[in-house]
Chains A and B, each alone.
Chain A
Amino acid sequence: MAHNEYLLQVRDLTKYFYRQRFFSSDREPIRAVDGITFSIRKGETLGLVGESGCGKTTAGKAILRLIEPTSGQVLFKEGNILDLNREDLRRLRPHMQFIFQDPYESLNPRMRVGEIVGEGLEVHRIAQGKDKADRVSEILEKVGLHPGDAIRYPHEFSGGQRQRIGIARAISLNPQLIVADEPVSALDVSIQAQILNLLMDLRDQLGLTYLFISHDLRIVKHISDRIAVMYLGKMVEMANGEDLFRRPLHPYTQILLQAIPKLDPSKRSQGAPLREEFCPHDLKKGCLFQPRCPHSKEKCQMEEPLLLDHGEEHLVGCHFVS
């Protein structure tokens, strides 16, 4: 199958941060991303969901080497990104771009919009001078801004428009892959919908492939073809979006989906039977979700489950898939 072609393959990616203990030479690892493996096909959108601290943002940044991963492989365009030296990585950058969550902090307040969007064109010697200005105008129109906005500064724009500037910057170099980290979370609901529409339009027009990171399950469901659920640095379930919502197999996914507030007052949810939060570092072995799992059994405390395929590319990491 032609569409089976993978644009990005991530294998066993890990990123540990180390915490220095007081009065001790031990460095305690915090396993922010702990061996995740997945692939994204060309033109596909993979949604990466999970709650705060699950490692989804770290994973996104490690894939593009915005932070250095601890180990693993990231295969993109016939090579392992993690093996590249600085110069080769720089040359690859135009093909893979990042959209940040906070449209207020991710734009340099001292640069004009035209400079922000055109910087990549200049750095990568794609266009200069008049040619650059023309390209910038064209890109600004593509994201729903005016060519005249190029001479303005970021503070003159609202949150939604700033996110459009961030998107313009990301698409300026005709990338193939875009990692979007919570691109609409900081925006108001009515503006969220505008930006989601824009991202979907650009995907169709430019043939983009997205890794779409979000904590919001409605939004992830809306934009993604496949969805991966993370919990404490591990992937616990991955499936086609429709399939995942129709038959969530991991207890964590089930609880997560139940917890989404309904938009119909006649169908109020009873809330999720989730056990209390706990400190993940206390856990030495077994399933990471076991201390909070309503179906936890003895085996879960002893042995860590593997992520196994339960048919139709539906992967689950649980000993007792119902």
Chain B
Amino acid sequence: MKTPLLEVRSLTTQFFTEDGVVRAVEDVNFEIHPGEILSLVGESGCGKSVTGLSLLRLIPIPPGKIMSGELLFEGRDLLGLEEREMERVRGNDISMIFQEPMTSLNPVFTIGNQIMEALQLHQNLDKKEARRRAIEMLDRVKIPSPEVRIDSYPHQLSGGMRQRAMIAMALSCQPKLLIADEPTTALDVTIQAQVLRLLKEIQGEMGMAVMLITHDLGVVSEIADRVAVMYAGRIVESGPIEAIFGEMRHPYTRGLLESIPQLEEKKKRLNAIPGQVPNPMDLPTGCKFHPRCHLMIDDCKKEEPPLYPVNKNHFSRCIRWKECC
């Protein structure tokens, strides 16, 4: 197997609030290989976004703190870098796109200006060359008449166009890794399909790796190669996409999938997961999912299960994984 582009080892990120310690991410391990799309999927508060922000060291300190772990990017630990060196990584080697393009684009600069900024900063291009590249990028993300649109302000673009502009900006320096945090959640379903297709296309052309953070299993199933399911700050199951959708081995993964109405079946009651996501300041003992789990036995309350290998690529954090699903 090739060496991974990024190797995350026992990442633990916590927030120290007035009400107590939020254990947002707890001992998370995963790898991303060059050219692959890894999806972190889970519900709100599961730690998927904090994981993404931790990779770029964008966690606000305080109240947040990366307690421990290693983020080996091409063998180099990002957590050991000086802030100045880290700035060279952000937007250049690793870049990020966010859910709401309107709030993450600067409203008082044209999109051209914002794309050119990264190019001038990281690639040492002069203004003219940067503008040429910016137009090229806008064309690449299929924004019509890019030479005109480059001088548009974010509010002059539709939601789908804005997200394309964000993608153009994130990809302008040809990063090796793109972190996409809910990139299509704010978009209508037809526009979502277009943006997903675009992401997949460009990813293939540029050969970059993508870490896709989403709550939407539909989006995952459309473009991911590998999936890590998160719950209460932990990865509870990970594996190739076919395994996660076809032969899942964790009751939470199964519950998530069964919560979504099927188009093919006649309507009946959904197999909802009972209860709610636990409070991150007051997590249950043992397996964090046990209070909602239909397979729960006494042992589940005692000790947090490790990630059991189902096979060499597929892992489940459930002591009853053999019986599950």
Residues of A that sit less than 8 Å from B by CB: 51-52, 158, 160-161, 188-194, 196-197, 200, 215, 217-219, 221-223, 245, 255-256, 258-266, 268-272, 274, 276-277
Contact = CB atoms under 8 A, between A and B. Distances in A.
Given A221-B261, A262-B221, A263-B257, A200 B269 contact: yes
A269 B245 contact: no
Contact of B190 (A219, A264, A272): A272
B189 A268 contact: no
B256 A190 contact: yes
Nearest to A279: B158
Given A190-B272, A277-B160, A215 B261 contact: no
B290 to A, nearest CB: 15
Contacts of A221: 261, 263, 267
A290 B211 CA distance: 37
Interface string B155-175: 000101100000000000000
29 contacts: A51-B189, A51-B190, A161-B276, A188-B44, A190-B255, A192-B259, A193-B258, A193-B260, A193-B270, A194-B272, A215-B188, A217-B189, A218-B260, A222-B261, A255-B190, A258-B193, A259-B189, A260-B218, A261-B192, A261-B216, A262-B222, A263-B257, A263-B260, A265-B224, A265-B245, A266-B242, A268-B222, A272-B194, A276-B144
B189 A189 contact: no
Contact of A261 (B43, B222, B255, B273): B222
Contact of A158 (B194, B242, B276): B276
Nearest to B243: A265
B272 A274 contact: no
A30 B319 CA distance: 58
A166 B114 CA distance: 43
B194 A197 contact: no
Contact of B241 (A265, A269, A277): A265
A262 B43 CA distance: 19
Which of A160, A223, A265 has most chain B Cβ within 10 Å? A265
A51 B188 contact: yes
B57 interface: no
Contacts of B17: none
Contacts of A215: 188-189
Contacts of B223: 268
Contacts of B190: 51, 255-256, 259, 272, 274
B257 A223 contact: no
B161 A277 contact: yes
Given A192-B259, A217-B189, 12 more contacts: A188-B277, A190-B255, A194-B274, A218-B260, A218-B263, A222-B270, A256-B190, A259-B193, A261-B218, A269-B193, A272-B194, A277-B161
A265 to B, nearest CB: 5
B289 to A, nearest CB: 11
Contacts of B271: 193
Contacts of B48: none
B197 interface: yes
Given A193-B259, A255-B190, A277 B221 contact: no
Nearest to B256: A189
Contact of B222 (A158, A188, A189, A269): A269
A271 B215 contact: no
B300 interface: no
Nearest to B259: A193
B281 interface: no
Nearest to A218: B261
B293 to A, nearest CB: 12
B86 interface: no
A305 to B, nearest CB: 20
Give the 8 A-B CB pairs with smallest separation, nearest first.
Answer: A261-B218, A222-B261, A193-B272, A193-B259, A51-B188, A271-B197, A188-B43, A259-B193
A197 B270 contact: yes
B263 A260 contact: yes
A63 to B, nearest CB: 23
Contacts of B158: 277
Interface string B245-268: 100000000011111111100010
Contacts of A197: 269-270, 272
B179 interface: no
